[in-house]
Amino acid sequence: MARIALIGGHGKIALLAEPLLVGAGHQVSAIIRNPDHSTEVEATGATPVVADIETMDTAALTELLNGHDVVVWSAGAGGGNPDRTYAVDRDAAMRSMDAAKAAGIKRYVMVSYLGAKPDHGVPQDNPFFAYAEAKASADTYLRSSGLDWTVVMPSSLTLEPSTGIELDPAEGGSVSREAVAQVVAAVVDRPSTIGADLRFNDGDTPVTDALR
């Protein structure tokens, strides 16, 4: 059993991952910004913790994460505002990694996306540019952090039911959020995924088999 701090606890993927993590015997602190979302989080079995990670410094984040064994980052600014995207998806994410280390936490799972890399190729005039830049920076920072990291890198997200996954696809396709949640829940219990970039689409292989 692990004590998991899931940052971005009201996101679509998080709400699907929380009951899986709780069902596996973990204690989940779902960190949310809006207290109005508490009831929905509680229904998953997770414990809502209201905190604004965008405005918290590293010391405050360290206090927030103290007592946990694993950090799962599933937060995002939601696009639309480049300044907020950089503030949340890059800066707050990087502070959370520093805070995890300060709190004595080794395990860190990042929810990213399939094309995240410094040479992501997104044009500067594309609305997705800020997100691509932010995720590239945060993922790169995580890989050099000394934490026991896993970067979860799904392709385009859908609301379809999970059919399983295909790892390392030749090109980007799509994947259900349910499958992403299954991957997040699975990697927490799999030390073999430490240091792995998990790129995947929808596929026919059950998540637990694909990660074996």
Cβ count near 200 (within 10 Å): 25
Q: Is the pLDDT of residue 171 over 80?
A: no
What is the rounded (10 degree) CA torsion for 56, 132, 191, 32? 30
Strand partners, 73: 7, 110
Side chain identity at 167, as an amino acid letter? Answer: L
Residue 121 has pLDDT above 90, yes or no: no
Average pLDDT value for residue range 146-172: 94
Rounded to 5 degrees, φ, ψ at 50 are: -85, 120
Answer whether residue 186 shows pLDDT above 90: yes
pLDDT interval class at 80 (50, 70, 90): confident
Q: Is the pLDDT score of 79 beyond 80? A: no
pLDDT at 130 over 80: yes
What pLDDT score was predicted for residue 209? 96
Check residue 170 and give its pLDDT: 83
Instruction: Please determine, looking at this structure, whether the domain spanning 3-210 carries the CATH number 3.40.640.10.
Output: no
Query: Parallel, antiparallel, or unpaired: how do β-strands 156-158 and 174-176 relate?
Result: parallel
Domain parsing of the chain, residue ranges: 3-210
pLDDT band at 77 (very low <50, low <70, confident <90, very high): confident
Range of weakest confidence among 7-11, 143-147, 156-160, 168-172: 168-172
Residue 49, pLDDT > 80, answer yes
Between the CA of residue 176 and those of 59, 147, 202, 203, what are the distances in Å? 36, 28, 7, 10
Give tens-digit pLDDT for 24-39: 999 999 999 999 999 9
The mean pLDDT of 32-49, rounded to a whole number, is: 98
Note the pTM of the prediction, 2 decimals: 0.96
Residue 20 confidence (pLDDT): 98
